[in-house]
Amino acid sequence: MYKKIKTTRLGIREQDVIFDEVADLIEASNKLLDTYYEKFEPSPRQEDVRDIYYNTEIPEGQTLHLLMFGSVGSAKTWTAFSLATEVLGEHPEAEGLGVRATYDDLSDALFRPYTKFLDQFEVGYWSKQKPPTVTLYNGSRFRMRSSERTSRSRSDKADELGGTKYSVCIIDEADSVSEEFARTLAGRMRDDAGVKHKLIIYICNPPSEDHWLYEWFFVNADPDDPKSAYRAIHMHMEDNPYLPEGYKESVERDYGHNP
């Protein structure tokens, strides 16, 4: 992790440099979310999302399934990033997983947006693109994987997922992921960081009534019941404080005919 430095003419030893960097790393880890909490001002809808997670009444150790659905520009992905970052940031060496249907979509849809999110709110991290992984300064990692590649693999699904010790997962465009994969993922999550509730966030446009997401969250469960493990929240463009000027008007102009 550290570049090896030889003794200089000033007499600074290699070990001293490494110890100093380790000390800086520990200090940065302790302050990982300080600036984030100062800079990130959640909207009322984002506060509702946080409330669902932190005040769920399901038994400790169980998985909370959270569906965030809404139109383009409703801050679904940004909100998912914020909650996942809190879970990973508050639990050192926790594991997070980001999922898209195809591998080619991971970089543009998850990797780059997440590093942009962390940069904006000054959360320290390292990253690598192959396989797409973001490591926070407290040792927590957010890996990104393809559901199609995992489903097609003949090897153990845990190998394709990058592990099983996940505390939080984000499934982006969840309506394009198979029900079989979603069930496999939920059964594979083995939190090892001590979170109170494992969390799977499903992001998508409003699902049709014949889709498995609709069945999971609206037919087989009460999405508004704090005792339910399957909760849902409708995200609205009006609740997104980060939209550029004129964005809402242009979307209404181009898509207003299609409610």
Per-residue pLDDT for the chain (259 aa), expressed as one digit of tens each?
333 333 333 344 444 445 555 555 456 556 788 889 999 989 999 999 999 999 999 999 999 999 999 988 889 999 999 999 999 999 988 999 999 988 888 888 999 999 999 999 999 999 999 889 999 999 999 999 888 765 554 444 555 565 678 999 999 999 999 999 899 888 888 888 899 999 999 999 999 999 999 999 999 999 999 999 999 999 988 777 666 677 666 767 776 666 5
Give, in degrees to the nearest 5, the angle at Cα 41 between 246 and 87: 120
In angstroms, rounded to a whole number, what is the distance separating the alpha carbons of residues 59 and 73? 34
This model's pTM is above 0.85: no
Q: Which residues of 73-104 are buried (b: 16+ CB within 10 A; e: fewer)?
A: bbbbbbbbbbbbbbbbbebbbbbbbbbbbebe
Please say whether the beta carbons of 200 and 185 come within 8 A. Answer: yes
Strand, coil or helix: 110: helix
In angstroms, rounded to a whole number, what is the distance separating the alpha carbons of residues 92 and 209? 39
In angstroms, rounded to a whole number, what is the distance separating the alpha carbons of residues 53 and 64? 7
Long-range contacts of 130-133 (CB under 8 A, 24+ apart): 131/162, 132/98, 132/106, 132/107
